[in-house]
Amino acid sequence: MRTNPNIVITGTPGVGKTTHAELLARNAGLKHLSINQIVKDEKFHEGWDDELQTWIVDEDKLLDHLEILVAPGGCILDWHACDLFPKRWVDLVVVIRCDSTTLYDRLTARGYKGKKLEENMDAEIMEVLLDEAKEAYDEEIVVELKSDEAEDVEANVERIEKWIEMWKKDREG
Ligand code: DAT
């Protein structure tokens, strides 16, 4: 049994997943697993999608690798998708959301353009990641948090830390 929860932080690229995951990992002493970084570092990909400018992920290899890391608990899984992580791994799913004008500025600053920019903007407006999270996990473990301004990050991380404390208390009882 896990003594610390595993938390998925998901959302459209640019909404603030990494920013949240890094602060939460530092404050709560959790392990930040940046799935993009792991896919790149461990070469869990089957090539490069030129049109979408992204890696084509080898999900089987990725999941085998993650299974060992998440087993003891206390991991933050930071990725722009969430429905491939098995339900049994996950205690909380945080979907970070962002105002579309703000997201447009963040993505263009990151060099996104063309189809990649368009698809990600559409995904945020259509709440694709929120729907995906609600479909893949029990709705009561899915929370949606706004990340438009710097203050939002601190408030959100504090809220997640409180949730972690409650999660631990429930298990002690
Ligand atoms: P993601 O990991 O979802 O792609 P990120 O954490 O890298 O997103 O953030 C993208 C950019 O936006 C980065 O320059 C930091 C900034 N940012 C994120 N959340 C923010 C917020 N709540 N207020 C202001 N800037 C934010």
* Residue 54 located in a structural domain: yes
Which of 23, 99, 106 has most ligand 1 atoms within 8 Å of CB, for mutation? 106
* Residue 31 located in a structural domain: yes
* Residue 99 located in a structural domain: yes
pLDDT tens string 130-165:
999 999 999 999 999 999 999 999 999 999 999 999
* Residue 63 located in a structural domain: yes
**How many angstroms is it from 157 CA to the middle of ligand 1?**
14
Cβ of 151 less than 6 Å from ligand 1? no
* Residue 46 located in a structural domain: yes
72 pLDDT higher than 90: yes
Cβ of 13 less than 6 Å from ligand 1? yes
* Residue 170 located in a structural domain: no
Is the ipTM above a cut-off of 0.95?
Answer: yes
Given the DSSP bridges, would you call strands 92-97 and 7-10 parallel, antiparallel or unpaired? Answer: parallel
| Domain encompassing residue 38 | 7-158
Cβ of 120 less than 6 Å from ligand 1? no
Q: Say how far apart CA 151 and CA 156 lie, in whole Å.
A: 9
* Residue 104 located in a structural domain: yes
**Tally of domains in the chain:** 1
pLDDT tens string 124-139:
999 999 999 999 999 9
Cβ of 147 less than 6 Å from ligand 1? yes
* Residue 127 located in a structural domain: yes
CATH number for the domain spanning 38: value is: 3.40.50.300
How many other C-beta atoms are found inside a 10 Å radius of the C-beta of residue 158? 13
pTM: 0.96
Query: Can you say whether the dihedral through the CA atoms of 53, 55, 56, 59 is positive or negative?
Result: negative
